[in-house]
Amino acid sequence: MSNTSLKTTVEWHKINWRKLERRVYKLQKRIYRASQRGDVKTFRRLQKTLMKSWSARALSVRRVTQDNRGKKTAGVDGIKTLTPKQRLTLITELKLGNKVCPTRRVWIPKPGTDEKRPLGIPTMKDRALQALVKLALEPEWEARFEPNSYGFRPGRSCHDAIEAIFNAIRYKSKYVLDADIAKCFDRIDHEALLKKLNTFPTIRRQIRAWLKAGVMDNKQLFPTSEGTPQGGVISPLLANIALHGMEERIKKFAETIPTNYSGKKRKRESLSLIRYADDFVILHEDITVVQRCKEIISEWLKGMGLELKPSKTKLAHTLKQYEKEKPGFDFLGFNVRQFLVDKHHTGKNTVGKPLGFKTIITPSKSKQKIHYDQIASVIENHRTAPQEALIKNLNPIILGWANYYATVISHDIFSKIDHLLYQKLRAWSKRRHPKKGYKWVVKKYWHTIGGDNWVFATKQESKNLLRLLKHKAIPTNLYVKVKGESSPYDGNLVYWSSRMGKNPEMPKKVALLLKKQKGKCPHCNMFFRENDVMEVDHRIPKSQGGKNSYENWQLLHRHCHDTKTATDGSPGNQSGCNSAKPKPTKRLEKSQDKWVMRYA
């Protein structure tokens, strides 16, 4: 490596990222607040300032080259990695214009179906530029987005949408329109989107260029006259902007709904629209209101060049059968349904009056089947593999699926899947030892550990005992919905960092480390934010005698982890995420017991 290249490498790692993060976040908070109060002139001026700043451009380059999971996916130019010198060069080249490269189309299978979804992969430069524009646009639109929009937004998840549905029907059974927008990303009208975006000309020209860039599929260039390319950094934000206003349109219709027979409460208050990306549900106790909402939404979508997908749009009731539709509906992998129950099991309203029914949310049957098929496929592919390899491949699948559904009533379903899994494993073990009896096979592969019987695990004499997780052993957690219109850009970092640790999909190790570190990365001393990629690190590397224990684990940003790993074994080298002087030894010792956070 030449002296110039070495110097550039050191310069990249010596950038004070903490200072840059704080500068950009302060501007984003000001944009958010200006947008909240409707001060267009101010937030547009701040957006221009942010995009011209070196700090924002550097963070955009770092995100697409070091943090993003698809950072090594090449665009049409074939570039998938950049050296530190090339990253610094790219920072200086990030300027808004109207010259862009077409996206590279990649077809990926849709989970649980035979269909394939097209992804458009921009070049590295376009991805960095999109990340820069997103830094400026997202705070503006987060202040405007409707409260019941949950998809592709920082700080919101599928579980927030499910909790919103539960709150809408917990005291009253309702009719539901379960709808899906046909090919939403592929059919959005460009001119309608740009008109709704209503931003200053420089950004508008740049976004128009991305929308019209075309796609390269199998070495052929195809024009893009409509839609936003799935796979771009800014595409989810543009899709949310295109669908913004749907809930407001329903609220306007709700104002025309007359009072009910008592005259004390207006039926409009029970009309709800809950949206996650291009999937949404409309809930109301009157079927005529829901049918009218379907017509209104269909008409509203035409303005964006979209339409409802008939095969995935249905009318149902949460408690009783409506026409040929069974009670309840599936949404985001969950089945939402109400059941008639006796007085001992019924739910109650706010004044303690029995309702006569209970709202039950469970994993949908289709998702159960997909999960079981995935488990069966892993077992089939490990017919001749050792037990240890099989357990290592099954545990992440079981843990991820069970954590996702741990917030709803899933215990009986978990037990059922555990039983089916046992049958698969028994056939797997019997096949490996066809001449041995059932008792011998059971004794070899199943053990009693800590009072838990029938544990599929390696022999207890092994130093590193590996056991297969059971679905029903995953504890259920009460999920707390995000507060109203709260946003990560409102400045309440303590609230948002604490919510990250309570996310049901967050591994237990990471959640505990987040709590002990009080939501901060010990390497750069910055709060973890919603879009940050986190990794668990050994404070003392295993190569130097470090142990796998909470005392030796810490949670770092991915880029901080890269820097720390590069400097392991060099005690005097403190360069990296924060170039400030290291803290005194006493302070480090006092805070060591709090450094227990990391994302696996």
* Whole-number Å distance between alpha carbons of 252 and 266: 14
The span from the CA of 241 to the CA of 133, in Å, is 14
> 187: closest CA among 99, 103, 278, 126?
278
Spatial CB neighbours of 525, under 8 Å, sequence gap ≥ 6: 18, 578
Residue 292 tokens, joined: 């009218």
Tell me how far apart the alpha carbons of residues 294 and 178 are, in angstroms, rounded to a whole number: 10
Q: Provide the pairing of β-strand 446-449 with 175-180.
A: unpaired
Report helix, strand or coil for 330: strand
% the chain with pLDDT above 90:
43
Q: What is the mean pLDDT of residues 210-238?
A: 86
**266 band by pLDDT with thresholds 50, 70 and 90:** low
**Closest C-alpha to 138, from 94, 210, 197:** 197
- Could you tell me which residues come within 8 angstroms of residue 123 by beta carbon, excluding any fewer than 6 positions away? 75, 76, 77, 79, 101
* pTM of structure: 0.82
Q: Kindly tell me if the per-residue pLDDT of 420 is higher than 90.
A: yes
What is residue 438's predicted lDDT score, i.e. its pLDDT?
87
Q: What backbone torsions phi and psi does residue 163 show, to the nearest 5 degrees? A: -65, -35
Q: What are 492-509's pLDDT values in tens digits?
A: 877 777 776 666 666 777
- pLDDT bin (cut points 50, 70, 90) of residue 67 is confident
- Look up residue 6 and give its two tokens: 């070495």
Helix (H, G, I), strand (E, B) or coil at 587: helix
Q: What is the pLDDT of residues 546-577, one digit of tens each?
A: 777 777 888 888 778 877 777 765 343 443 34
| pLDDT value of position 530 | 65
The residues near 78 (Cβ < 8 Å, ≥ 6 apart) are none
* pLDDT score at 293: 94
- Spell out a b/e string for 246-273, using b for 16 or more CB atoms within 10 Å of the CB, else e: bbeebeebbeebeeeeeeeeeebebbbb
Q: pLDDT (tens digit, 9 = 90+) per residue, 129-165?
A: 999 999 999 999 999 999 999 988 888 889 999 999 9
Mean per-residue pLDDT for 527-543? 77
Task: Indicate the range of 30-34, 149-153, 373-377 predicted with least confidence.
Answer: 149-153
246 sits in which H/E element:
helix 246-254
pLDDT at 573: 40
Mean per-residue pLDDT over the chain, rounded? 83
Please classify residue 99 by burial: count the beta carbons closer than 10 Å to its beta carbon, then call 0-12 exposed, 13-18 middle and 19+ buried. Answer: exposed
Check residues 178 and 462 and name the one with the higher pLDDT: 178
Task: Supply the pLDDT for residue 515.
Answer: 74
Tokens of 102: 């077409």
What would the mean pLDDT of 395-400 be, rounded to a whole number? 92
Backbone angles phi, psi at 305, to 5 degrees: 75, 20
In this structure, of 242-256, 417-431, 459-473, 558-572, the range with the lowest mean pLDDT score is 558-572
User: Among 102-111, 151-160, 372-381, 433-442, which stretch is predicted with the lowest mean pLDDT?
Assistant: 102-111
* Nearest CA among 172, 179, 361, 171 for reference residue 285: 172
Does 360 score more than 50 pLDDT? yes
Using left for φ > 0, alpha for ψ between -120 and 50, and beta otherwise, residue 248 falls in alpha
DSSP annotation of 100: -
C-alpha span between 333 and 348 (Å, rounded): 27
pLDDT at site 269: 63
DSSP structure class, residue 276 = E
* Distance between CA atoms of residues 89 and 104, nearest Å: 23
Does residue 190 contact residue 226 with C-beta atoms inside 8 Å? yes
- The answer to which of 200-209, 213-222, 359-368, 514-523 has the lowest mean pLDDT is 514-523
